[in-house]
Amino acid sequence: MDTLISIKGLNKQYSGKPVLDNITFDVQQGQILGLVGPNGAGKTTCLQAILGLVNCEGSIDVLGFDPKQKREKMLTEVAYIADVAVLPKWLKVSQALDYMQGVHPKFDREKALNFLQKTNIPANAKVKALSKGMVTQLHLALILAIDAKVLILDEPTLGLDILTRRQFYTHLLEDFYNDDKCIIVTTHQIEEIENILTHVAFIKDGCIALHDSVDNLKSRFKLVNVARDKVDAAKAMNPLYTHSMMGITTLLTDSEQIPSDTQLAPEDFGDIATPSMADIFVGVMTQEATA
Ligand SMILES: Nc1ncnc2c1ncn2[C@@H]1O[C@H](COP(=O)(O)OP(=O)(O)OP(=O)(O)O)[C@@H](O)[C@H]1O
């Protein structure tokens, strides 16, 4: 699989405060990477750097282009959905298609129209008359018609109801995604999209705290339900968090953090379950506080 995005040693400061701190990761063909972090962690700044919209130290390569030097060429193959406010309110749907046809060499109007036919968006409607969900669908129609290799999504479903959010990701998988492409998506709602992600990167205070494939994370981390009399012994496994409810204590363990001299393994303590990405996210984000 080819590497489509390569980021090395990315640093960015605002007013002397580090916002991105030595960010390094690659995204390969076929990957859907969830960039997940709390408010202010640096997600949007990282995406803006990939799009060549902010100056940073370090190197970024997107499809062989440096986004700062070759932004125009890069954007023939890279698409971006920020949030629903980006399309001008006065624009008609048909004018949005005209505009894209005029500026984008790869824009396929038929493809956009075919997608719009599946929605209830009228071609003569103005953006201001569309609901948030409809504007997001219009965005998606424009993106699908470009057939970009790299898609960058910054909280694309913010403010949409759950049905519209699910519909958005279904269309994304069915009408856009294939093994040749990659997607980076930031979200606060990882539990909703974790089943479509192939990889996750957790970002905390501008640093990548964890980056791996979903499959690896599922085998590396375990949720262990521990009986009360074994809780103290189980803490020798250095759990990322310990949560007690109704007499049952649940520990999140990371096989890479279990000390090598620990005699007992998670399976010696009780029932084991595979954590969700949201469980692991909470564990990684709160680890220092509970350590
Ligand atoms: N143009 C700017 N000028 C000054 N500070 C900025 C600017 N843009 C972002 N920041 C700061 O950089 C930090 C990271 O912001 P960023 O928007 O990248 O975070 P985020 O993870 O996307 O947050 P959220 O989830 O709330 O959207 C924040 O502390 C923010 O205040």
* CATH number of the domain to which 46 belongs: 3.40.50.300
Closest Cα to atom 23 of ligand 1:
40
Cα separation, 50 vs 201, whole angstroms: 15
Q: Do 64 and 128 belong together in one domain?
A: yes
The parent domain of residue 255 ranges over 217-290
Question: What 3-state class would DSSP assign to 152?
Answer: strand
Q: Do 107 and 175 belong together in one domain?
A: yes
Residue 212 is assigned to a structural domain of this protein: no
Q: pTM of the entire structure?
A: 0.91
Q: Do 187 and 222 belong together in one domain?
A: no
Structural domain count, the chain:
2
Q: What is the pLDDT of residue 289?
A: 46
Choosing from 143, 170, 205, the residue where a domain stops is: 205
Q: Is there an atom of ligand 1 within 6 Å of 67 CB?
A: no
Question: What 3-state class would DSSP assign to 149?
Answer: coil
Question: What 3-state class would DSSP assign to 151?
Answer: strand
Q: Do 129 and 239 belong together in one domain?
A: no
Residue 211 is assigned to a structural domain of this protein: no
CA of 44 relative to ligand 1 center, distance in Å: 7
Q: Is there an atom of ligand 1 within 6 Å of 43 CB?
A: yes
The segment with the largest mean pLDDT, out of 153-162, 207-216, 222-231, 237-246, is 207-216
Residue 19 is assigned to a structural domain of this protein: yes
Q: Please classify residue 75 by burial: count the beta carbons closer than 10 Å to its beta carbon, then call 0-12 exposed, 13-18 middle and 19+ buried.
A: buried
Task: Locate the ligand 1 atom nearest the alpha carbon of residue 41 and give its number.
Answer: 21
Q: What is the average pLDDT value for the chain, to the nearest integer?
A: 90
Cα separation, 132 vs 83, whole angstroms: 9
Contact criterion met (CB below 8 Å) for 156 and 81: yes
Closest Cα to atom 28 of ligand 1:
40
CA of 116 relative to ligand 1 center, distance in Å: 34
Question: What 3-state class would DSSP assign to 14?
Answer: strand
Residue 178 is assigned to a structural domain of this protein: yes
Choosing from 170, 185, 205, the residue where a domain stops is: 205
Closest Cα to atom 5 of ligand 1:
14
Residue 28 is assigned to a structural domain of this protein: yes
Q: What is the pLDDT of residue 159?
A: 81
Q: Do 122 and 257 belong together in one domain?
A: no
Closest Cα to atom 6 of ligand 1:
14
**DSSP state, residue 55:** -
The reply to whether ipTM tops 0.85 is yes
Q: Is there an atom of ligand 1 within 6 Å of 37 CB?
A: yes
Q: Do 156 and 222 belong together in one domain?
A: no
Q: Is there an atom of ligand 1 within 6 Å of 40 CB?
A: yes
Task: Locate the ligand 1 atom nearest the alpha carbon of residue 37 and give its number.
Answer: 21
Contact criterion met (CB below 8 Å) for 246 and 290: no
Cα separation, 122 vs 130, whole angstroms: 9
Q: Do 25 and 130 belong together in one domain?
A: yes
| Residues 12-70 pLDDT 10s | 999 999 999 999 999 999 999 999 999 999 999 999 999 999 999 999 999 999 999 99
Q: Do 137 and 273 belong together in one domain?
A: no
Closest Cα to atom 26 of ligand 1:
39
Residue 63 is assigned to a structural domain of this protein: yes
Tell which one of 10, 14, 185 to mutate to probe ligand 1, the residue whose CB is within 8 A of the most ligand atoms.
Answer: 14
Q: Do 9 and 93 belong together in one domain?
A: yes
Q: Please classify residue 15 by burial: count the beta carbons closer than 10 Å to its beta carbon, then call 0-12 exposed, 13-18 middle and 19+ buried.
A: exposed
For residues 186-211, average pLDDT:
92
Q: Is there an atom of ligand 1 within 6 Å of 14 CB?
A: yes
Q: What are phi and psi of 212, to 5 degrees?
A: -165, 175
Q: Do 146 and 272 belong together in one domain?
A: no
The answer to which of 100-104, 143-147, 261-265 has the lowest mean pLDDT is: 261-265
Q: Do 128 and 221 belong together in one domain?
A: no
48-to-9, 41, 183, 184, 265 alpha-carbon distances in Å: 15, 14, 15, 12, 43
Choosing from 174, 205, 236, the residue where a domain stops is: 205
Residue 210 is assigned to a structural domain of this protein: no
CA 126 from centroid of its chain's CA atoms: 30
Q: Which long-range contacts (CB under 8 A, 24 or more apart) does 233-242 make?
A: 233/264, 233/269, 234/264, 234/269, 236/262, 236/264, 237/262, 237/264, 237/266, 240/280, 240/283, 240/284, 240/286, 240/287, 240/290, 241/282, 241/283, 241/286, 241/287, 241/290, 242/290
